[in-house]
Amino acid sequence: LMKRHVLQLNPILVPAINDKLESLYHMHRLFEQEDKEAYIARHGAVIEGVITGGHTGISNALMDSLPALKVVAVNGVGTDAVDLNHARSKGLPVTGTFGALTEDVADLALGLMLAVSRQICPGHAFVQRGDWVRHPSPTAIPLSRRLSGKRVGIVGMGKVGRAIAQRAAAFGCPITYTDLRAMEDLPYAFQPELLQLARESDVLVLAAAADKAQGIINAAVLDALGREGILINIARGKLVVEEDLVDALQRGVIAGAGLDVFVDEPNVPAALLQMDQVVLQAHRASATVESRTAMGEMVLASLAQGLAGQRPEGSLTT
Ligand code: 8YV
């Protein structure tokens, strides 16, 4: 039996998923190739499926250089790095792993909210460095701030936004959200204006798709969030004007930030690396065995359907 050819743009960290991919397909692991262009020139003609990551996507040029391509399976839920109109014009299905990572992304959002409010990372470093023994006086560490009961504003009320709301509600936090429209099935307050939402929030959490929302968190929004305010981003770096965020943190315009995503990953603005009021993660919100396994199974299903000439379940373009 001839194995069909699948191009994989990013590593997958679940051995069982890699084993299944290897047993079913002739895998082309582009991320291991030194000269990617030459590799595509050599093998592009036979590639029928692509696996890529949410924030890395696929360029139009690469799509166009794979004439036999039948499906692009995004191993993630944010498809902003794929030009869906371009894929649609080619009749090319694009799928995501919708629903597979919701709980873990929401968990990390709450983790960042707690870590920033309660200064968990500086506290850890204080003990780890041996400073607690050297300076046992309670005055050695300033008081932190409570999370419970604080007003939480959520930007983007999709699956992840809702899961964050549920968790924050359990902390007694009143929830307000913004999105393109109010959602009748939700018990939370809707605020159509982002600026007003920021004004009314102690913690502003970004959970929006970035396709049409680039740079919505700017100096004005951060100013509205205010000096006790905390920004959490587990969605996409480009939702934020990063220079404005750095400036707001430096000048105490807001109190702190918990960031899993950045504009130009893996490059994090140098100023953020020095800040005690900031908690940084390396785009890890979906990086659990559970989420990545569920995501991998969805990718496998998309490939199987797409290569069989069927419309993959949940295709965004076909
Ligand atoms: C991952 C993500 O970074 O789902 C997304 O949109 O950004 C993350 O899950 C990535 O897509 C894993 O490949």
Q: Are residues 56 and 140 in the same domain?
A: no
Q: Any catalytic annotation for residue 26? A: no
- Residue 70 located in a structural domain: yes
ipTM (interface predicted TM): 0.97
Q: Any catalytic annotation for residue 184? A: no
- Residue 260 located in a structural domain: yes
The residues near 131 (Cβ < 8 Å, ≥ 6 apart) are: 140
- Residue 242 located in a structural domain: yes
**CATH number for the domain that contains residue 48:** 3.40.50.720
Q: Are residues 29 and 12 in the same domain?
A: yes
State in Å: Cα 211 to ligand 1 middle.
14
- Residue 154 located in a structural domain: yes
Q: Determine contact, residues 152/175, Cβ cutoff 8 Å.
A: yes
Q: Are residues 35 and 156 in the same domain?
A: no
Q: Are residues 176 and 257 in the same domain?
A: yes
Q: Of 82, 80, 3, 119, nearest to 263 (Cα)?
A: 80
Q: Are residues 13 and 140 in the same domain?
A: no
- Residue 209 located in a structural domain: yes
Q: Are residues 111 and 244 in the same domain?
A: yes
Q: Are residues 40 and 110 in the same domain?
A: no
Residue type for 286, please? S
- Identify the burial level of 309 via C-beta atoms within 10 angstroms of its C-beta, where 0-12 means exposed, 13-18 middle and 19 or more buried: exposed
Strands 175-178 and 152-155: parallel
Q: Of 132, 77, 75, 139, nearest to 106 (Cα)?
A: 77
86: containing domain: 4-100+289-307
- Residue 318 located in a structural domain: no
Per residue of the chain (318 residues), what is the pLDDT tens digit? 799 999 999 999 999 999 999 999 999 999 999 999 999 999 999 999 999 999 999 999 999 999 999 999 999 999 999 999 999 999 999 999 999 999 999 999 999 999 999 999 999 999 999 999 999 998 889 999 999 999 999 999 999 999 999 999 999 999 999 999 999 999 999 999 999 999 999 999 999 999 989 999 999 999 999 999 999 999 999 999 999 999 999 999 999 999 999 999 999 999 999 999 999 999 999 999 999 999 999 999 999 999 999 999 999 999
Q: Which of these is catalytic: 4, 43, 88, 265?
A: 265
State in Å: Cα 77 to ligand 1 middle.
6
- Provide long-range contacts, Cβ within 8 A and 24+ apart, for 209-213: 209/78, 209/79, 209/80, 209/156, 209/158, 209/235, 209/236, 210/78, 210/80, 210/235, 210/236, 210/238, 210/239, 211/79, 211/80, 213/156, 213/239
> For tokens 């939480």, what's the residue?
152
Q: Of 108, 209, 115, nearest to 155 (Cα)?
A: 209
Q: Are residues 160 and 31 in the same domain?
A: no
Q: Are residues 158 and 219 in the same domain?
A: yes
Q: Which of 8, 12, 18, 55 to mutate to test the pocket of ligand 1 (most atoms within 8 A of CB)?
A: 55
pTM given for the model = 0.97
* Number of domains forming the structure of the chain: 2
Q: Point out the ligand 1 atom lying closest to the alpha carbon of residue 105.
A: 9
- Residue 317 located in a structural domain: no
Q: Are residues 138 and 249 in the same domain?
A: yes
Q: Are residues 121 and 231 in the same domain?
A: yes
Q: Are residues 117 and 266 in the same domain?
A: yes
- Residue 61 located in a structural domain: yes
